[in-house]
Amino acid sequence: MSEPGTSDLPPATGAWQAGDPAGRRQWVRFGRPLRLESGADLPDVEIAYETWGSLAADGSNAVLVEHALTGDSHAAGSAGPGHPSEGWWDGLIGPGRALDTDELFIVVTNVLGGCQGSTGPASVAADGAHWGSRFPRITIRDQVAAEVAVADALGIDRWAAVLGGSMGGMRALEWAVTEPDRVRSLMVLASPAASSADQIAWASPQIRAIVSDAGWHGGDYHALGPGEGPHRGLDVARRIAHVTYRSEPELTTRFGRAAQDGEDPAAGGRYAVESYLDHQADKLVRRFDAASYVLLTRSMNDHDVGRGRGGVGAALARVRARTIAVGVDSDRLYPPAQARELARGITGARYGEISSPYGHDSFLVETDQVAALVKELLS
């Protein structure tokens, strides 16, 4: 994996690879195949994870934090060898913070199918070749099944809390529905009970941009050199996604119709907002894998806690955890009505709202508001 700034050419994949610095990662390596929701068995599974704090003797202080689509296990700490980005929830995890590591044992996994240490398309299979196009389609339930095995390996019978936003919220909710006796409290931020047609529609051009890239090679590009692979498609996918992550008022206030410094849009230069998207896209192609992006986006499209359980209402009725369902008032991707639906459907749950101009990404940006909700959940 190329660290940002080491090459002008984007890598074929920004995935972490065996032999790269491990950083703070640890691994649970399964000694058996993982049975997927489809009925297929996935062999040679390993899940990367990071921890902060110490596990109590009775295991009662463990908290599982679930990352979003392009996140990973590095939720706290600085960037460095093995970690191309600083912790994505660094302001919430640490001594004296909302997720107080003097009292709690925080676990953050890299999701099954991800690209930062866990088994996914960029991983090398038993035959010595990258999984690539051979990697099976997986669901949010499959991702949670892998995390159940991690909890078992760590000796955690019950989580004091499971919390996450966006795709991480989908996994947090699935934990509480699938394993109701193993989740004491639950926080689902900016995430639905089931993905809507609108959300699937926004995902569709992102997937199409990647798989239509000439560098996709049917999903088998991971061994190619810098400048190869579907980095152009991933670039476009990130631009589409990032617009949905922020709000129109924020973009208008922050950029308006201003030109990028030193450039004239009338002469072929960029608007400032275009430069912003260029920056976001370039960062992602250097730290993420396009096949993981496609795989995980499809798993989000498939998300429906009511599938095979008699519908969403019946599924939510299984939740026994003390629950806060959190919406963001400016979220145009996962509107707050979906969080309200969760709060209505889960016995004893309450709805909480983050007020922010930053849209969907507010659960990552509004540290003080999220911290207050987390403290309430854990009180």
Active-site positions read 166, 331, 360
Q: State CA 34 to chain mean position distance.
A: 21
Q: What are phi and psi of 352, to 5 degrees?
A: -120, 150
What residues contact residue 212 under an 8 Å CB cut-off, 6+ apart? 233
- Residue 159 in tokens: 């989580």
**By the 8 A CB rule, do 267 and 313 touch?**
no
Helix (H, G, I), strand (E, B) or coil at 4: coil
Please tell me the distance from the alpha carbon of residue 375 to that of residue 303, in angstroms, as a whole number: 28
Nearest CA-CA partner of 103 in 162, 155, 163, 61: 61
**By the 8 A CB rule, do 143 and 113 touch?**
yes
Residue 39 zone, left/alpha/beta (φ > 0; ψ -120 to 50; rest) = left
SS3 content of the chain, % helix, strand, coil (to 5): 35, 15, 45
Q: What are phi and psi of 54, to 5 degrees?
A: -125, 140
Please tell me the distance from the alpha carbon of residue 370 to that of residue 358, in angstroms, as a whole number: 14
Long-range contacts of residues 55-60, Cβ cutoff 8 Å, at least 24 apart: 55/105, 55/154, 55/155, 55/156, 56/105, 59/155, 59/156, 59/157, 59/158, 60/158, 60/160
The residue behind tokens 């703070």 is 24
Between the alpha carbon of residue 117 and those of residues 22, 112, 140, 157, 337, the distances in Å are 8, 9, 18, 24, 35
Question: Per DSSP, what are the bridge partners of residue 108?
Answer: 50, 65
200 half-sphere exposure, CB direction, 13 A CA radius = 10
Please tell me the distance from the alpha carbon of residue 287 to that of residue 102, in angstroms, as a whole number: 31
Helix (H, G, I), strand (E, B) or coil at 22: coil
